[in-house]
Each structure stands twice: as structure tokens, then as C-alpha cells.
Amino acid sequence: MPYIRFEELNKFYGNNHVLKDINLSVEKGQLVTLLGPSGCGKSTLLRCLAGLEAVSSGKVFLDGNDVTEVGARDRGIGMVFQQYSLFPNLTVAQNVAFGLKMKKVPKDEIDRKVKEILGLVGLSEKIDQYPSQLSGGQQQRVALARAIVTEPKVLLLDEPLSAIDALLRRNLRIEIRRIQKELQITTIFVTHDQDEAMVMSDVIHLLSAGYIEQSGTPIDLYSKPRTLFAATFIGNYTILPAADFSKAIGEKLDCKDVAIRPEIVHLSSKPEEGEDKYHLQGTITSSFCHGNIFRYNVHCEGIQINADVIYEGGLPLNDNELVFLSIKKDQVIEL
């Protein structure tokens, strides 16, 4: 039986239908990400699980129990928000200990647990400092420690990294994943950032306009998008009308659109052969460097196709240069 389960869950705000017949399961110990654009319903779904929002219809189950009508305090859930809401007049240790004090845990046990959890998040040396003396990343880890020190059944993370600079964000998402694995705590993470979702998740649920558009492992969503929205939101696919692509390759495809990952497009200065590939000829219209990847935009037979090439030294290809493209047929996704 799944550890968390939503059954036919709906949420309305007046006439605004925010969540639409959501059926979703989470296994114990997984880190599951709710991914999607702003306004798709992912944070609302999280808040329905936490008991911070009443559902309009449907059921919420946690650890085999129907918690749909159970109050937030009685669900055993820890939560970290985008705004960490640390108490400015309390030290790091006092902030982390707050939930334990509310539960009337003995002082010796509080001290032990606080030291243990601050060691886990790498803040042992900050134990007597105040939030104003900490960096944004350190404040985020204090909020995380405060959420998990009470040993909740589930940890909910609502875009906790969005206010942090890019380099620190990359480091923190690795740290959060490490801590989650070490504690084996069932975690639901909300983000609009596909890179965070890909790096951190066991399973991703992609939401759009209140619906679950697609669910699966990160590699499944990246390599096998089932809808136009999924292909548009995950990865950097070139999306083309099938009629235009068919005209360019000289073969008819029985679908509406095609999606092509830029890394599967092979560029060459000479024509290639192979019946298992589509072959095109084109001209480079633009390019840019993205770390160790050069992305080329190539104009071919009235369509534009992106191609990613690993930079291994030497000069990149030039704008207006003639190139030949080959794309494996079985890697072109028909939508």
C-alpha cells in the first residue's frame, strides 16, 4: 500500500478549479517532486497534504490512515517554505528546538537531538548564532533541521531554494538529497525548476493547469514525454509540426508534432548514411556556448533544429556554415 495517496482530489477557490481529480501515490522513503509552472496547483496540493488547505472533494491518506479531516498538527508532517520564517530573536539551537519544546520533550533529549541534527546539516559551529548572522543557505538548513528534528512522517519542501543564488542552490539540492537518503524520510518537493527535479527526485509528477500531465522517473520524463506540454517543459526539445518535419526528411509521419532532443542531432561536414536515421542538410544560423556544450541552431528545409555538441577543443562551427544532420529515427518522439 502506498505511504501517501490522493484519491480523486479536487480543490476549488470560488469558481477557480485549482486541482482536478488528482490521483497520486507516494511510496515510503521516496523523494517525489511536484514539478510545473506557477499556478499549476503544485503548492496547493502540498498544502492539502499538510492540512493547511481543506480539500473540496476527494481523500488524502497517510500511512494507511484517512487524514482528510485531520488537523495539520496531528498529521505528523514537517514543512519548509520558501520563506524560512525563523525566529529572529532565537539562536540556531533555539529555533531548531522549538518544535520539540512544544511537544514537551525533556531538555536533555532536546539538547541531544538538536546537536545531532545540526551536525547532520553541517551547522554545528553556528549553534549559538542568530538568523541575522547566517547566510541564506545557512538559514535554509536551519529551517530544514527544525522541520526534521521532530521526526515527522513526511517532509514537505515548498520551493525552499528559490530565493538562493544559483551556485549555492546547486550545492544545497545535493545536500538535501543526501540528508533525505540518510534519514530515509518520505519527502515531497515542490519546484518549477526542471534541473532541481531531475537531480533530486525518485519520481516526478508534472502538473499543468490542475492536472497531472505525466508521472515517472526523471529519465522517463526527460526521454519519453507523452504530451506536447511535457516535451515543452522538460528538457530543451525542438518541437516541430510533423507536416513540416515530414517535408524536410521526405517521409510522411502519422502524428501531429515531433520532439527532438538537441543532443541526439549529429552534425557533420559530410553526408552520412544509414536507413535507421533521418538525414538533412542545413546552414548554421546561430550558436552559443553553454559551459562545455555548444548549441547550434540550424536552418534545414524551412525548419529550425537545435543541435548540442560537447566542446572538446578547437574552433566552433561558424554561422552560415553548411552542415549535414543525422537523427536516429527511433529517438524522434512523435506527439
* DSSP line for 85-143: ---TTS-HHHHHHHHHHHTT--HHHHHHHHHHHHHHTT-GGGTT--GGGS-HHHHHHHH
Cβ atoms within 10 Å of 104's Cβ, excluding its own: 7
| Chain segment 299-333, per-residue pLDDT in tens | 998 999 999 999 887 778 899 999 999 999 999 99
DSSP character at residue 330: G
pLDDT of residue 254: 93
Q: Which fold has domain 238-334?
A: OB fold (Dihydrolipoamide Acetyltransferase, E2P) (2.40.50)
In 3D space, the residue among 175, 108, 112 whose CA is nearest the CA of residue 149 turns out to be: 112
Domains of the chain, by residue range, sit at 4-233, 238-334
**62: which 3 cell numbers?**
497517510
Q: Tell me the C-alpha distance between 143 and 83, whole Å.
A: 9
Query: 3-class SS at 200?
Result: helix
Cβ atoms within 10 Å of 39's Cβ, excluding its own: 15
pLDDT of residue 71: 95
Give the CATH number of domain 4-233; options: 3.90.1150.10, 1.20.1070.10, 3.40.50.300, 3.30.980.10.
3.40.50.300
pLDDT of residue 170: 85
pLDDT of residue 327: 96
- 36, 99 in Cβ contact below 8 A? no
pLDDT of residue 333: 96
Residues of the chain with pLDDT under 70: none
pLDDT of residue 311: 84
